[in-house]
Amino acid sequence: MSPALDDMLVNEVVPRLRAVARTIPKIGAEDDEDIVQDATLMAARMMESAEKSGHPITAGNATYYAVKAARSGRRSGYTGRCDVYSPGCQIDGNARFDPLDATMEVDDEPCGTLHDVIRPFDPGDREIDPAEEAARNLDWEAFLAGQPPRQRRALRTLAEGGTMREAGKQCGIRDSAALKLKRRIAADLVAFFGEAQIRRLLEGRRPDWEAGLRCARERHACQCVAFVSWDPVPPAAA
């Protein structure tokens, strides 16, 4: 912009924007200073565009249209109304935001906070499902009951955190024989539990039923976080 328009923006437009900022609807954490910043940038763009096209513009015109744009929900970074984060979309009532510490309900029963529902999964802090743990223990005991005494002794050593060399010493065998025993135990585990189950445990994947339950909770959370509804535009008359 030219120096004259720069001076107009600073000394005439910005003071007027500050005077009317309190009357412009705020969305989320916006305050008067945020509105003034956005409106100032929009006014500067209008003034620069008018100057380039050769059209005269006054401080009153720049202030009027910048305030009108801000009041309708437009901002300097995005002027559309299709994004749920857009102030215009929220002013229209097409989106609603809830705090992350708000209590969520599924079928009229509380299911924790919104943050608990949508936060990423961390295997280290997941609570063990009692039913899953009991079923795992039953399967493990059934597997041990079908093993020879030497393999059962080695398995218990490994389950307590010991190495295969320590398991071999418990069984009274050398390292080469312990390696063969390790391969036999691995084959028996795959034959008893199935390759898919062993692979799932090694990769740390969660049970399928738990993933389905989490998906249902996330869908419910997304509906609460932002609900966007669009009215279909009627086709133009032929």
* pLDDT (0 to 100) of residue 137: 78
* pLDDT (0 to 100) of residue 186: 84
The Cα–Cα gap between 186 and 183 comes to 5
* pLDDT (0 to 100) of residue 225: 47
Measure CA 172 to chain center.
Answer: 53
Mean pLDDT of 91-107: 69
The Cα–Cα gap between 41 and 98 comes to 29
3 state DSSP class of 236: coil
Residues 6+ away with beta carbon under 8 Å from 182? 164
* pLDDT (0 to 100) of residue 18: 92
Residue 107: CB atoms within 10 A of its CB come to 6
Q: Which of 114-123, 142-151, 203-212 has the largest mean confidence?
A: 142-151
Domain edges within the chain: 3-83, 96-126+208-229, 130-205
Residue 129: CB atoms within 10 A of its CB come to 14
Mean pLDDT of 102-117: 65
The Cα–Cα gap between 126 and 184 comes to 33
Q: State the pLDDT confidence band at 230, using cuts at 50, 70 and 90.
A: very low
Stated pTM of the model: 0.42
- For all residues of the chain together, what is the average pLDDT? 76
Which tens digit of pLDDT belongs to each residue from 143-197? 888 888 888 888 888 878 888 888 888 888 888 888 888 888 888 888 887 887 7
Measure CA 112 to chain center.
Answer: 16
The Cα–Cα gap between 238 and 235 comes to 9
- Which of 27-31, 35-39, 186-190, 198-202 is the least confident region? 198-202
Of 69, 50, 37, the closest CA to residue 1 belongs to: 50
C-beta separation of 17 from 63 below 8 A: yes
* pLDDT (0 to 100) of residue 115: 63
Mean pLDDT of 23-37: 85
Can you give the length of the chain in residues?
Answer: 238
DSSP one-letter code for 238:
-
Question: Which residues in 132-168 are b (16+ Cβ under 10 Å) and which e?
Answer: eeeeeeeeeeebeeebeebbbebbebbeeeeebeebb
Residue that wins the pLDDT comparison between 44 and 185: 44
The Cα–Cα gap between 219 and 41 comes to 38
Mean pLDDT of 76-85: 71
Of 133, 135, 112, the closest CA to residue 213 belongs to: 112
